[in-house]
Amino acid sequence: MLSTVLRTVIVYFFITLAIRLMGKRQIGDMQPNELVITLLISEIAAIPLQDPAQPILHGALAIFILIILEIFISVFAMKSLRVRKLMSGKSVVIIKNGLIDEDAMKQVRMTTLDLIELLRQNNCFDISEVYFAVLEVNGNLSVMLKPQHNPATLKDLHIVPEKEGIFLPVICDGKILPESLSALSVEPKDIYNILSGQGKNVRSVFLMTMDRFKNYKIIGRRNDI
Amino acid sequence: MKRLIAAAILLFIVIGVTTANFIITEHHFKVMTAFVSESRDLYEKGEKEAAAEKAAAANAHWEKSEKLLAVFINRGVIDEIGEAVTRQNTLAKGDDRALFLAETDVCLMLIEHMHDVEQIMIY
């Protein structure tokens, strides 16, 4: 029993290491070769867990080899277009200049209903509004609307936006996040000054966010509200 | 670049572990094959005491190396060889020649099978 527990813990760390080394991607964003490796890792990892007689080293080595392959292939794919096409395929233009390319749809085995569903997922409910639609290698559809159907931007309306920056969390659950402070070029004493001005301390703050213009929002802990 | 370094380190680990695996398995294969074969030869020459000694040495060597080999080889295979070596050791002290030789052959076959795992096969 203890052996199963230890094996599970070890395999958990191996898989976490594998996924971390593969990079942050969601299943839907994976390239075909990444998906294959993820499926293989899960299968291989299960073998030493299901069969206690099997040395855990076999599973670990197989996972390591998959990671090595994945990293080397992704490096080659980055340097060579041919390798990239071979491993991941290429994007296919489904709608070009507002016209559906039936041959392209046949090539990717996509039905009209599939296309309409993918368009809906892109908030496009009228196919006649689409100017370009490209099926990406990860299976997502990128859609470009005809100019007359594009939503108006502030530039179109000749509105100059107010200065705004990304709000980063500077205090989370009563703890200062040094990475955010350095990203915003803020000193901890500035935060203490703001908090003392409001009669609060760091521990009493649930969340404090700040942007690069020093605009901030503070949410106190539940019993402080 | 960091990932490439990580891949290189992993590759180094994989090569190191597989090489160690090959060397260790090969070593134990040779030692065990030598002990068991010598035991058979001595038994066939009628030197039963010497044959029993060699069989006991094989048994002792296997018991000692089991833990290390379990890192690389399936536990089931290790236990199977362990049982065969123990049986051969017991039979070496007896007079049943046919049974002893048969068990010795089984033992050698199992040891060779353990070694087979390290041969490159894609089937």
Q: Whole-angstrom Cα distance, residue A9 to residue A19?
A: 15
Q: How far is B10 from chain A (nearest CA, A)?
A: 6
Torsion angle in degrees (nearest 10) through CA of B11, B14, B17, B21: -130
Query: Residue A144: what pLDDT?
Result: 94
Residue contact A55–B75, C-beta within 8 A: yes
Domain of residue B34: give its range.
2-116
Above 60 in pLDDT, residue A58?
Answer: yes
Backbone angles phi, psi at A130, to 5 degrees: -85, 130
User: What pLDDT score was predicted for residue A60?
Assistant: 85
How many structural domains does chain B have? Answer: 1
Q: Domains of chain A: which residue ranges? A: 2-86, 92-149, 168-224
Residue B123 located in a structural domain: no
User: Looking at per-residue confidence, does B122 or A171 come out higher?
Assistant: A171
> Which residue would you say has higher pLDDT here, A30 or B13?
B13
Q: Taking CA A117 as the corner, what is the angle to CA A113 and CA A120, rounded to the nearest 5 degrees?
A: 140
Calculate how close chain A gets to B98, using CA atoms only, in Å: 32
Most A CBs within 10 Å, among B3, B4, B11, to test the A interface: B3
DSSP-H helix ranges across chain A: 2-22, 32-50, 56-79, 81-88, 102-107, 112-121, 178-184, 188-197
Choosing among 3.30.200.20, 3.10.20.30, 3.30.240.20, 2.170.150.70, the CATH entry for A92-149 is 3.30.240.20
A16 or A192, which is more confident? Answer: A192
Do A55 and B71 count as a contact with CB atoms less than 8 A apart? yes
The chain A residue lying nearest B7, using CA atoms, is A68
Question: Rounded mean pLDDT of A127-140?
Answer: 89
Is residue A119 very low, low, confident or very high in pLDDT (cuts 50, 70, 90)? very high
Rounded to a whole number, what is the distance in Å from the CA of A194 to chain B's nearest CA? 39
Give domain status of residue B103, yes or no. yes
Residue B121 inside a domain? The answer is no
pTM: 0.64
* Interface list for chain B against chain A, based on CB atoms closer than 8 Å: 3-4, 6-7, 10-11, 13-14, 17-18, 21, 70-76
pLDDT higher at B65 or A12: B65
Q: What is the CATH number of domain A168-224?
A: 3.30.240.20
Contacts of A54 in chain B (CB under 8 A): 74-75
pLDDT of residue B122: 56
Q: What is the pLDDT along chain B (123 residues), one digit of tens a residue?
A: 777 888 889 889 889 988 888 888 889 889 989 998 998 888 888 888 888 888 889 889 988 988 888 888 888 888 888 988 888 888 888 888 888 888 888 888 888 888 776 555 555
Closest CB to B72 among A57, A64, A74: A57
CATH number of the domain that residue B19 is part of: 1.20.120
Could you tell me if A78 lies within 8 Å of chain B, comparing CB atoms? no
Considering only residues A108 and A8, tell me which one the structure prediction assigns the higher pLDDT: A108
Would you state the pLDDT for residue A225? 47
B103: Cβ–Cβ under 8 A, 6 or more apart, which residues?
B84, B87, B88, B91
